[in-house]
Amino acid sequence: MTTLTLLGTDGATRAVALNPPPAFAKPRTPLQTRVAYAAAHVVPKAHADNTPGQPAEIDWDATLAFRHHVWSWGLGVADAMDTAQRNMGLDAAATRELISRSAAEAASAGGRLVVGVNTDHVDDAAISLEQVVDAYVEQLHHAEDAGAGAVLMASRHLARAAQNADDYRRVYREVLSKAGAPVVLHWLGTAFDPALEGYFGSTDTDAASATLLQIIEANRDRVLGVKMSLLDADAEIAVRRRLPESARMFTGDDFHYVGLIEGDAEGHSDALLGAFAALAPNASAAIQALDANDLDAYRAILGPTEELSRQVFAAPTYYYKTGVAFLSWLNGHQAAFQMVGGLHAARSLPHLSRIVELANRSGALERPELAAARWHELLTINGVDVSAKTDGAAARSAHADAGEARTADATPSEAVPA
């Protein structure tokens, strides 16, 4: 196959050249200059009732194999977080099982793992601050007992219950006092979850940042760092420059990560990104370039992926998970383009087409022949006439290769030490 058919918003199709896969190599030693986690998604059973409101039925083999794929490229996995569809299809029981299974898998593979800790197992919409603390601690202890590091996620319950910045300082102080090891805090912006408006006690970013920094300063020995997901590079840099030396900034900015990870004379951000779930080989190769002090190569590898990430995370941003799962399917990491809660239907075909175009352009199609065959099949079953497509033998060969690759990824030979 030499061409790729794309679909415009007007229904017109056009063909572009299908690029060869990038020649990235997996690292032989742990990545050095940056700490990078990919926030991973979950793969449901294709035959399950993957419709809105139904409990998640996870394909554990495919879900855990994807984590091995991430680890094999030298990245850590951030699990049971927003990318895994928490509060958008992944129910509490499935979340607990995901944490337990991923932690066991990380231990067996020597892979880095942190997991999300929240209050979302509580069904009541409104609870007291004391109940918020108890809910956080319950999930925190489950994560720690499983052997995982913790990311203290922004809580909708806390956003509803807190009346001011003092309430945030109090809740975080009490929860952090119960932590067995330093945790990563998380500030998730309203683009990802509108229910979190006014988090840390203010809708003013500077005021909220001041409260966050006070929490970190008052709990230095309990806070490893903070993940900021505001899609505001200037706000992240401002907080980063004021962090105590004991705390890392983990960028969650899927729009500006190239410059934030590169950093400046005053520091850099590490990474905890949903985008890196779709870009593990690119992210690994870019950080390997930084390790080799080759800034030009870093920019050349990672720079082109930012436009792709902006498309995946386009408004409404909270549907970005659809793009992550779509790319996972295109790249052969799951057998079907299915998501829990029916979220695979959250993006239009032209939106997905643009993802295909930018992934092809930026080197994010790990196996282009397979990706093109799957994309063309998706277009065809939706009534789009595909003029640039593989013959049957090529398509069958691409699908056969996908099965072999999933098996190989399940037992990587190169994983990141914990």
Give a three-class secondary structure readout of the chain.
CCEEEEECCCCCEEEEECCCCCCCCCCCCCCCCCCEEEECCCCECCCCCCCCCCCCCECHHHHHHHHHHHHHCCCEEEECCHHHCECCCECHHHHHHHHHHHHHHHHHHCCCEEEEECCCCCCCCCCCHHHHHHHHHHHHHHHHHHCCEEEECCCHHHHHHCCCHHHHHHHHHHHHCCCCCCEEEEEECCCCCHHHCCHHHCCCHHHHHHHHHHHHHHCHHHEEEEEEECCCHHHHHHHHCCCCCCCEEEECCCCCHHHHHHCECCECCEEEECHHHHCHHHHHHHHHHHHCCCHHHHHHHHCCHHHHHHHHCCCCHHHHHHHHHHHHHHCCCCCCCCCHHHHHHCCCHHHHHHHHHHHHHHCCCCCHHHHHHHHHHHHHHCCCCCCCCCCHHHHHHHHHHHHHHHHHHCCCCCCCCC
Dist CA 254 CA 274 (whole Å): 7
What pLDDT, on a 0 to 100 scale, did the predictor assign at position 293? 98
Q: Is 190 exposed, middle or buried (0-12, 13-18, 19+ CB in 10 A)?
A: middle
Q: Indicate the range of 2-16, 141-155, 380-394 predicted with least confidence.
A: 380-394
Sorted by sequence, the CB contacts under 8 Å of residue 337 that are 6+ apart come out as 325, 326, 329, 344, 374, 378
Packed helices 129-146 and 165-176: angle between N→C axes, nearest 10 degrees: 30
pLDDT tens digits, residue range 291-300? 999 999 999 9
Mean per-residue pLDDT, 154-179? 98
What pLDDT, on a 0 to 100 scale, did the predictor assign at position 58? 98
C-alpha distance from residue 411 to each of 105, 114, 143, 237, 406 (Å): 11, 20, 24, 38, 9
pLDDT at 418 over 80: no
Look at residues 367, 279, 362, 283 and name the one whose alpha carbon lies nearest to residue 323: 279
pLDDT at 392 over 70: no
pLDDT at 287 over 80: yes
Q: What is the pTM of this model?
A: 0.92
Mean per-residue pLDDT, 161-171? 98
Question: Confidence class of residue 408 from pLDDT cuts 50, 70 and 90?
Answer: very low
Mean per-residue pLDDT, 223-232? 98
Higher pLDDT, 417 or 79: 79
Q: Find residue 77's DSSP bridge partners.
A: 38, 113
- Provide the b/e sequence for 313-323 (b: ≥16 CB within 10 Å): bbeebbbbbbb
Mean per-residue pLDDT, 162-167? 98
Please report how many Cα atoms fall inside a 13 Å half-sphere around the Cα of residue 413, on the Cβ side: 3
Look at residues 407, 397, 348 and name the one whose alpha carbon lies nearest to residue 372: 397
pLDDT at 390 over 60: no
Do residues 78 and 38 lie in contact, with contact meaning Cβ atoms separated by under 8 Å? yes
Residue recorded with tokens 């033998």: 393
Mean per-residue pLDDT, 94-100? 98
Amino acid at 43: V
pLDDT tens digits, residue range 256-268? 999 999 999 999 9
- Phi and psi at residue 357, to the nearest 5°: -60, -45
What pLDDT, on a 0 to 100 scale, did the predictor assign at position 65? 98
Dist CA 231 CA 193 (whole Å): 12
pLDDT at 89 over 50: yes
pLDDT at 60 over 70: yes
Look at residues 266, 179, 166 and name the one whose alpha carbon lies nearest to residue 223: 179
pLDDT tens digits, residue range 234-252? 999 999 999 999 999 999 9
**Residue 56, Cβ neighbours under 10 Å: how many?**
24
pLDDT tens digits, residue range 301-348? 999 999 999 999 999 999 999 999 999 999 999 999 999 999 999 999
Q: Indicate the range of 97-111, 268-282, 391-405 predicted with least confidence.
A: 391-405
What pLDDT, on a 0 to 100 scale, did the predictor assign at position 252? 98
Dist CA 7 CA 10 (whole Å): 8
Question: Confidence class of residue 405 from pLDDT cuts 50, 70 and 90?
Answer: very low
Amino acid at 353: S
- Provide the b/e sequence for 225-250 (b: ≥16 CB within 10 Å): bbbbbbbbbebbbebbeebeeebbbb
Pairing type for strands 13-17 and 3-7 reads antiparallel
Percentage of the chain exceeding pLDDT 90: 92
What pLDDT, on a 0 to 100 scale, did the predictor assign at position 407? 43
pLDDT at 415 over 80: no
pLDDT at 80 over 60: yes
